[in-house]
A and B are shown apart, each in its own frame.
Chain A
Amino acid sequence: MISVENVTKRYGEKVAVDGLTFQVKPGIVTGFLGPNGAGKSTTMRLILGLDAPNGGSVSIDGRSYVDLPAPLHEVGAMLEARAIHTGRSAYNHLLALAQTHGIGRSRVDEVIDLVGLTDVARKRVGGFSLGMGQRLGVAAALLGDPRVLILDEPANGLDPEGILWIRTLLKRLAKEGRTVFLSSHLMAEMAQTADHLVVIGRGRLIADGTVDEFVRRASTGAAVRVVSPQATALRDALAAKEARVDSVERGVLEVHGLSGQEIGEIALAEKIVLAELTPLQASLEQAFMELTGETVEYHASSTDTDDPTTLRAAA
């Protein structure tokens, strides 16, 4: 289990992580989500002891990373920015890491095989594609057969086949009881891989819960789409119940403030025919944008006012 407690990290004037608290539990895949610049990579660096926090504490199974006697056996990590000397071969890179822990060459061959880099293992890393670099990063993370895996944007640069591969691998590793913690700024990717989500924006915690909870929470206050040949009559009936009704197009309404069942009951009472009744559940992507909309660090100026999901959430 990874435990982040009230952690703050400043780089000069800029606060990268601001009083962040969350836990990553074993046996599940925990997604770490946030817009670019939200502080995901910084938080991971703090967990791995690469950067020192200005306040708060980080522990892995109750110990600080720096105090782990055999860190590669406890935690396997892959950082977003490449952390590999480009002049060395993949094999020698992994061998040098393995040697710090007395891990044998057979294990090095094993992880190279596992990530599918056998053919290029003796080539210099400088010539690797982004996807190959990611695979090498995964190999390094798995080298010590760790109980905890921390991966920064593992799907980055992988082709669809590679994404499927990493997703299956991570789920498998979590099923074995390992702690899997991975970051992404892509919500859709997370929805298919993660069980639990930690969402941050501008270094602060925004949400911490299961993927289902996350969608439900984001969908609260979402609209219901109603199609009826008697749209005008229905509109008046619903308006009388203090619901907010928007006409989307002829015969189509979007109703806020009432559930689908309530709308159905009203229609029945008024003897209005309904052709369609659809609760508009926010997609994970919308939910993410709603939650992080205000905290996005770098966005095009038009998006924060024109975003329909933001308006809907405000309603």
Chain B
Amino acid sequence: MSATTTAIEVPARATAQHGGVTQLRVIRSEWTKLWSLRSTRWTLLVAVIGMAGLGPLVAAIQMSRWSTMGPDDRLHFNAINTAVGGWHLAQLAIGVLGVLVLTGEYSTGQIRSSFMAVPKRLPVLWAKTGTFATVAFALMLISTFVGFFGASAILTQHHVQPALSHAPALRAVIGAALYLAVLGVFCTSLGALVRNTAGGIALFVCLLFVLPGVVAILPTSLQNSINPYLPLNAGTTLLAGRPEAHTLSPWGGFAVFCGYTAIALVAAAILMRRRDA
């Protein structure tokens, strides 16, 4: 660094290209930010492996004990649920990373740099959620297909493989990617609301996984009316291989989950504009 003390050159003004902040430019910036962190790459790798690997793994286990399974078990075996089952793992990785996308900036102070470059602030929120949702959707769609075909190949030995031409199967594959992408936006919004990594992850786990447990200790009649509207249950209706009692319709449930996400996102946007950074 010693060389810099002697010669100080301030580059001419012309070298910095002039131009203002646009939403597209902020998206490009957020794309760079997303991929330039190791945590992103590792967490997404976990999500991809979980999504693509868990279905085939469970399928292999099921097939190995197929001959010893009773007729009741065989009847209840759901090939679609098995094939796209990786979402159970992937959702934790996507949710945590979604929270981190924003809280990582608050905990390090990076958010001040971000807001100094984009003082209107909201373009940052849109770019972050949009970029992350797109990346999550693309990666999860590919991984789900890989998991689905992998599981199908294993399930063929007992001719119980799901066919993609079957409407619920295709819906489940695309639905898994859709659910995880929207979950990413939901969790990024939670992160923006609490601005703290531990708090954001706790809130995510609480809303998605603890709430169902709380509802489970309520009287059954209450359970049946509340359960369909819980974020996890509503969000994953698209993934169901066959219709179940006390659930919303596939797209209806997904719409409810999108509604929760929209509420969280709007609340995050309002607070982001108002609060001191």
For A, the interface residue count at a CB cutoff of 8 angstroms equals 61
Whether the Cβ atoms of B15 and A114 lie closer than 8 Å is no
Whether the Cβ atoms of A83 and B18 lie closer than 8 Å is no
In the complex, what residues of B have CB within 8 A of residue A271's CB? none
Taken together as a complex, chains A and B put the C-alpha atoms of A66 and B13 apart, in Å, by: 23
Bitwise, A87-106 to B at CB < 8 A (1) or not (0) is 11100110111011111101
In the complex, what residues of B have CB within 8 A of residue A17's CB? none
Whether the Cβ atoms of A102 and B119 lie closer than 8 Å is no
Bitwise, A175-200 to B at CB < 8 A (1) or not (0) is 01000000000000000000000000
Nearest A residue (CB) for B16: A145
Taken together as a complex, chains A and B put the C-alpha atoms of A70 and B18 apart, in Å, by: 8
How large, as a class, is the contact surface on chain B? 35 or more
Taken together as a complex, chains A and B put the C-alpha atoms of A50 and B105 apart, in Å, by: 14
Interface residues of B in 186-241 (CB under 8 A from A): none
Nearest A residue (CB) for B112: A83
Stretch in B35-43, B60-68, B82-90, B255-263 with 4+ CB within 8 Å of A: B35-43
| Chain B: minimal CB distance from A11 (Å) | 8
**B104 touches A (CB below 8 Å):** yes
**B77 touches A (CB below 8 Å):** no
Nearest B residue (CB) for A116: B4
Bitwise, A59-99 to B at CB < 8 A (1) or not (0) is 00000011011111101010101111111110011011101
Which secondary structure dominates where chain B touches chain A?
A: helix
Stretch in A163-171, A204-212, A259-267 with 4+ CB within 8 Å of B: A163-171
Whether the Cβ atoms of A100 and B112 lie closer than 8 Å is no
Whether the Cβ atoms of B276 and A97 lie closer than 8 Å is no
A88-B36 CB under 8 A given contacts A52-B276, A114-B10: yes
**B165 touches A (CB below 8 Å):** no
Taken together as a complex, chains A and B put the C-alpha atoms of A83 and B107 apart, in Å, by: 10
A84-B113 CB under 8 A given contacts A96-B29, A103-B16, A135-B1: yes
Interface residues of B in 117-156 (CB under 8 A from A): 117-120
Nearest B residue (CB) for A91: B36
Q: Which of B18, B22, B105, B119 contacts A49 (CB 8 A)?
A: B119
Q: Which of B9, B16, B25, B111 contacts A100 (CB 8 A)?
A: B25
Whether the Cβ atoms of B16 and A82 lie closer than 8 Å is no
Whether the Cβ atoms of A110 and B11 lie closer than 8 Å is yes
Interface residues of B in 8-37 (CB under 8 A from A): 8-11, 13, 15-22, 25-26, 28-30, 32-33, 36-37
- The 10 tightest CB contacts between A and B, nearest first, are A116-B4, A145-B16, A92-B36, A69-B20, A99-B29, A85-B110, A83-B112, A70-B20, A51-B276, A116-B1
15 contacts between A and B (CB under 8 A): A71-B21, A72-B116, A87-B104, A92-B33, A93-B113, A95-B36, A96-B36, A97-B29, A103-B17, A103-B19, A111-B11, A142-B10, A144-B16, A145-B15, A168-B8
